[in-house]
Amino acid sequence: MKIYIDGNYYDPKDATVSVFDHGLLYGDGIFEGIRIYHGNIFKLREHLIRLYESATALMLDIGMSIDSLEAAVRDTVRINNRANGYIRLVVTRGEGTLGVDPSSCKKACIIIITGDIQLYPQENYTLGISLITSSYRRIPVDCFDVRVKSLNYLNNVLAKIEARQAGCQESIMLNNSGHVAECTGDNIFIVKNGKLLTPAPYEGALNGITRQTVLELAESLGISTAETILTRFDLYTADECFLTGTGAEIIPAVNIDKRSIGKGSPGPVTLKIADSFLSYVESVS
C-alpha cells in the first residue's frame, strides 16, 4: 500500500503527519469516503464538489484545484492497483502552533488512503440490523452545519459506543427538536405505504452521495419519495427501514428500540432498491 501525503507516496509505516497538525490537535479538517467499483471511482466528482464546499465553509484553502486533486486521487488508486475498495480523502488545516487560531497553519495537508472496508458482516445484509435511538443529539445547525463533513465526529463515536453497549449495530441520532436526523455514519430511510421517506438535510442529515443516488433510483423505479420530517413514531410504525452510506452501501434495519419493523425482515422495496443500486454500480463501472 502507498499512501499519498502532499504530493508524495509513502509506505504505511512512513506515512506520518506532524503532531502539530491542527487536524490532530483540534479536528480542524474535512474528509470524504469514496468507493471503488471494478476500477471505477464511484461519483468522484460529486464527492470532490462536496469536499470543496466543506472547505469553503471552513475557510480552508485546499491549495490545489479540484481537477488536480481529482488527478491525485486517480493516480493513488492506479498506483495501489485497486479495482475495488475504499478511498479516504482527508484535508487538514495543516501544521501550526498550539492554540486554536488557524492563522498559524500556512499550508493544508492532503492525505489519500486506499484500502478495504467492511462495516457490517455479510449476514447483516441478508437478515438486517438492529438500531437504537441514541441519547446523544445531533449537533444543531445553529452550532455547526453538519453539511460540512468535518473531522469532528466525537458525538457520532459516542452514539456508536452506545449502540454497541446495547447489543445493536447502529444508533439513530435525533436533532434538538426530537426529529430523526441520521445515524452515526449513515443516512436513514423508511418505507410507509409504498412511499420512500428520509429526513431532509435541514433536519441535520448529511446529504449523502449514496442517499442521493437512492432517491434518484427510487424515482426511476416509480417509487414516490420525499425528504421530510420524521419522528421515532414514524420509524416504529414503518413498513420497512434501511440505511445508506458509502461504506455501508444499502443495509436493511429490521428492529428499532426493540420494536420489529414490518415483518422483522428486509422488505420488498428495500430489496428492490438494493438490487437496483447493485445494477447501477455495475453499469457505471
Residues with catalytic annotation? 149
Cα–Cα distance list, 137 to 182, 230, 259 (Å): 10, 15, 21
Q: Measured between alpha carbons, how far is 277 from 221 in angstroms, rounded to an integer? A: 11
Helix (H, G, I), strand (E, B), or coil: what is residue 162? helix
Q: Measured between alpha carbons, how far is 201 from 209 in angstroms, rounded to an integer? A: 12
Q: Is the distance from CB of 148 to CB of 57 less than 8 angstroms?
A: yes
Q: What is the DSSP string of 56-125?
A: HHHT---SS-HHHHHHHHHHHHHHTT-SSEEEEEEEE--B--SSS-GGG--S-EEEEEEE---SS-HHHH
Residue entry with cell 507516496: 9
Amino acid identity, residue 204? G
Residue entry with cell 454497541: 164
Other beta carbons within 10 Å of 78: 11
Q: Is the distance from CB of 80 to CB of 116 less than 8 angstroms?
A: no
Residue entry with cell 473531522: 151
Assigned C-alpha cell, 77: 488508486
